Chain A
Amino acid sequence: MNERKNKLISEKNHKAWLYLLPALLFLIAFMVYPLIDVLIYSVEEGYNFASQTYFGVGGYNFSYVLHDPYFLQALKNTFILVVITVPLSTILALLISTGLSSIKPLRDLYQTIYFLPYVTNTLAVGLVFMILFQKTEYTDGLVNLVIHFFGGSSVDFIDGPYWAKMFVLCFYTIWVVMPFKILVLTSALASVNPDYYKAAKVDGTPKLRVFTRITLPMISPMIVYLVITGFIGAFKAYSDAVALFGTDLNAAGMNTIVGYVYDMLYGDSGGYPSYASAAAIILFAIVLTVTCINLLVSRSSRK
């Protein structure tokens, strides 16, 4: 009896694996194999791209990358970007979507307007941002005109001091990631049963308390999702910086980790897949750690 049951289960297992096979093959070929390959590249010292040879195996690539000032600059930039944009964009998105769900007239219009950045092209928008913030010999740019109007002195945000460039990058990143967050949060807010609000109203619950004690807990799974994907997205930032500061990010001092990886592979200093792989592995480790921490925090706060 038991034996037959076991046999049945194992037969079922075989079938299940058969069904999974196509997907598994793709995953192995295009995800697992490259990952392992990157790992192998990252430990092969003195790898020569042309002759496909290397001297030995060890941690030199990591040590090189971690001592490379360009990488450290990229690391710093990425961390600043993450720390500023993820919380700020989530909070702003929460405020805007709360506002959107509490107004009735023209709600659809506002929703469309707020969603527009999502469907526009990153590079095109980056160009517009550049024109807005740039200061050249011919023009001060719109932003500088505004600063002038309020009595400040003009700053070149694109080719000027570090903080100005970082400000533009953060501003731009937040602007780009907001639409999706607003979309997700508005639908999360709309899915909260209105009876909860009615019950709270009958009990005379103050508005702020309704928001913190009812609305926020109800949509917290969506917020957690947005924070985690936000962290991952911000750590992988690259195209935003390129759109604003051009391809030579190291010279602009605005490189990101992914940008560094790209430069190591294809940039002017390119042809170093080992260093690129090492940097990629470091990024992977950082993202994994942060995501684990995120999940742990959200899980413990839910209990």
Chain B
Amino acid sequence: MNIVLENLTKEFPARGKRNSGSVKAVDHVSCQIPDGELMGLLGPSGCGKSTTLNLLCGLEKPTEGKIFFGDEDVTALAPEFRGVGMVFQNYALYPHLSVRQNIRFPLENRKGKDKLSKEEMNRRVEDAARLVQIEELMDRKPGELSGGQQQRVAIARALVKFPKVLLLDEPLSNLDARLRLKTREEIRKIQKQTGITTVFVTHDQDEAMSICDRIAVMKDGLLMQQGRPQEVYDHPANLFVARFLGTPPINLFAGEVRGQTLYLGGKPVLPAPGVPDQPVWTGIRPEGFILKADGPLECQMERVEVTGRDVSIISSHSACTEGTLRSIISSEEGAAAPTARTVRFALKPGKVFLFSKDTEEVIPLSGEGKEL
């Protein structure tokens, strides 16, 4: 099921006397989610991603704009007629019902010609349980399950009605780190197996990047950028997206372009073909540094962190907006990690982004750059 959002806007009226003026939680968002894909809605808390999800499932009515599921305009449709399955952040499993009753609950709501026979209901409950591998927990109460198990029950409950669209609201935030890794793989697997178009809300870019077919990055209700995770990572549209994606985060410098060359701290570090002279924000991915004895970027050495797979060199530079900058070097290269006071890097052109100081939009570098 293709999902199309058209100019979707949700405005919440002002609350109380003190904060007058309404709040635009979602501001003219347009995007398209192709059939069968897993879409990650990504952004910091308060960016409107959960509101977007609520608009999709029908719990909130948009102030403006339209939502299409396939060819059908569902904007005015109540949640139960949209054919959506929703998994809530806290799972919202009914504590007084057993796992089996919880999964059955959506099916028992059906009336009239949609009503299912007992056998059909049981069969579908069993199928859903098998899909998420909780067959042996069916007679327990949610309170007796671990977080991960509750999560699966919630997914089973969402899937049992064969939804056209599956919506997941921060599904992994209540799990511990190891379980999170495992569960996200499972969500991915189940999504591929069922082929249901899925929207997945998260503030964790790592989560979104790793399992989503597409991601949409939001900030203050605005859609900043959307696309394949790698695409968005490699070509951030603005400073916000560049800073939001990637762990460890991108290193930010205040720089300047003069004569088609990027200067950091007054020294030329990279050719910037086709860029007019102006002050710029410069973002350099941690993996964009190359250790080079005569590299153009000279930094003050702070310390070296060894993780086994690679080596992080923490150093400082006068133009860097944070206190320190982090560069990641593969451990073969990093074996010769410098012990001197200063360290010099060359920069990989594809990992360096320039942003306008006014608009914070990316400044495209024309043609393939070369390292200095």
Q: Which residue of A lies closest to B110 (CB)?
A: A204
Let me know if A202 and B59 touch, CB within 8 A: yes
- CB-defined interface of A185-210 with B at 8 Å, one 1/0 digit per residue? 00000000101101111111110010
- Inter-chain contact total with CB atoms closer than 8 Å: 55
Q: Is B90 a contact partner of A195 (Cβ separation < 8 A)?
A: yes
Contact A195 B109 (CB under 8 A): no
- Residue A128 at the chain B interface, CB threshold 8 Å: no
Complex alpha-carbon distance, A293 and B9, angstroms: 57
Q: State in angstroms the CA–CA spacing of A198 and B211 once bound together.
A: 27
CB distance from B56 to the nearest CB of A (A): 11
Alpha-carbon distance between A214 and B94 when the two chains are bound, in angstroms: 7
Are A203 and B161 closer than 8 Å at their CB atoms? yes
A217 at interface (Cβ–Cβ under 8 A)? yes
Contact of B59 among A198, A209, A217 (CB under 8 A): A198
Q: Are B96 and A209 in contact (CB under 8 A)?
A: no
Please give, as numbers and ranges, the residues of chain A lying within 8 Å of B283 by CB-CB distance: none
Chain B positions 40 through 58: 1 when the CB is less than 8 Å from some CB of chain A, otherwise 0 = 0000000000000000011
A302 to chain B, nearest CB (A): 8
Q: How far is the CB of A152 from chain B (nearest CB, A)?
A: 44
Q: Please indicate the chain B residues that have their CB under 8 angstroms from the CB of A218 in the complex.
A: 95-96
Q: A201-B59, A202-B58, A202-B80 are in contact. Are A195 and B92 (CB under 8 A)?
A: yes
Decide: B92 and A205 in contact? CB cutoff 8 A. Answer: no
A interface residues, tally (CB under 8 Å): 18
Residues of B within 8 A of A200 (CB): 105
Could you say which of B86, B88, B109 contacts A206, with CB atoms under 8 Å apart?
B109
Give the distance in Å from the alpha carbon of A113 to the alpha carbon of B79 in the complex: 36
- For A204, the chain B residues whose CB sits under 8 A away are 78-81, 106, 109-110
CB neighbours of A220 from chain B (8 A): 96
A198 to B158, CA, bound (A): 13
Q: Is the Cβ of B94 less than 8 Å from the Cβ of A195?
A: no
- B105–A203 contact, CB under 8 A? yes
Knowing A193-B90, A195-B90, A217-B96, the reply to whether A201 touches B109 (Cβ < 8 A) is: no
**Contact digits for A219-248, partner B, Cβ 8 Å, 1 yes 0 no:** 010000000000000000000000000000
CA A201 – CA B109 in complex, angstroms? Answer: 10
Judge whether A201 and B79 touch: CB under 8 Å. Answer: yes
In contact, B109 and A205 (Cβ under 8 angstroms): yes
Q: How long is the Cα–Cα vector from A198 to B94 in the complex, in angstroms?
A: 12
* A201 CA to B59 CA, complexed, in Å: 8
B84 CB-CB contact with A under 8 Å: yes
Are the CB atoms of A199 and B161 closer together than 8 Å?
A: no
* Closest Cβ–Cβ distance, residue A201 to chain B (whole Å): 5
Report the Cα distance A213→B92, complex, angstroms.
Answer: 14
Q: Which residues in B have their C-beta under 8 angstroms from that of A213?
A: 94, 97, 105
Question: How close is B78's CB to chain A, nearest CB, in angstroms?
Answer: 8
Q: Are B88 and A195 in contact (CB under 8 A)?
A: yes
Question: Considering the chains assembled together, what is the distance between the CA atoms of A204 and B115 in angstroms?
Answer: 13
Contact, CB under 8 Å: B88 / A199: yes
Given contacts A206-B109, A217-B96, A218-B96, contact A201 B80 (CB under 8 A): yes
A198 and B80 in contact (CB under 8 A), knowing A203-B105, A203-B109, A206-B109?
no
- Chain A residues in 8 Å Cβ range of B86: 198-199, 202
Q: With the chains together, A199 CA to B167 CA distance in Å?
A: 12
Among A206, A213, A218, the most chain B Cβ lie within 10 Å of the Cβ of A213
Contact between B161 and A196, CB atoms less than 8 A apart: no
A117 to B245, CA, bound (A): 59
List the B residue with the shortest CB-CB distance to A205. B109
Contact of A203 among B95, B96, B97, B106 (CB under 8 A): B106
Q: Which of B57, B89, B94 contacts A202 (CB 8 A)?
A: B57
Min Cβ gap B102→A in Å is 10
Segment 161-187 of B: residues with Cβ below 8 Å from A:
161
Task: Name the residue on A nearest B95 (C-beta).
Answer: A218
Known: A204-B79, A204-B80. A199 touches B109 (CB 8 A): no
- Could you mark each residue 51-86 of chain B with 1 if its beta carbon is under 8 Å from any beta carbon of chain A, else 0? 000000111000000000000000000111100111
Chain A to chain B: the 3 pairs with minimum beta-carbon distance, closest first = A204-B80, A203-B106, A195-B92
Known: A195-B88, A198-B59, A202-B58. 18 other contacts (CB 8 A): A195-B90, A196-B92, A201-B59, A201-B80, A202-B57, A202-B59, A202-B85, A202-B86, A203-B106, A203-B161, A205-B109, A206-B111, A213-B97, A217-B94, A217-B96, A218-B95, A218-B96, A220-B96
23 contacts between A and B (CB under 8 A): A193-B92, A195-B88, A195-B90, A196-B92, A198-B59, A198-B86, A198-B88, A199-B86, A199-B88, A201-B59, A201-B79, A202-B79, A202-B80, A203-B80, A204-B78, A204-B106, A204-B109, A204-B110, A205-B109, A206-B111, A209-B109, A213-B97, A213-B105
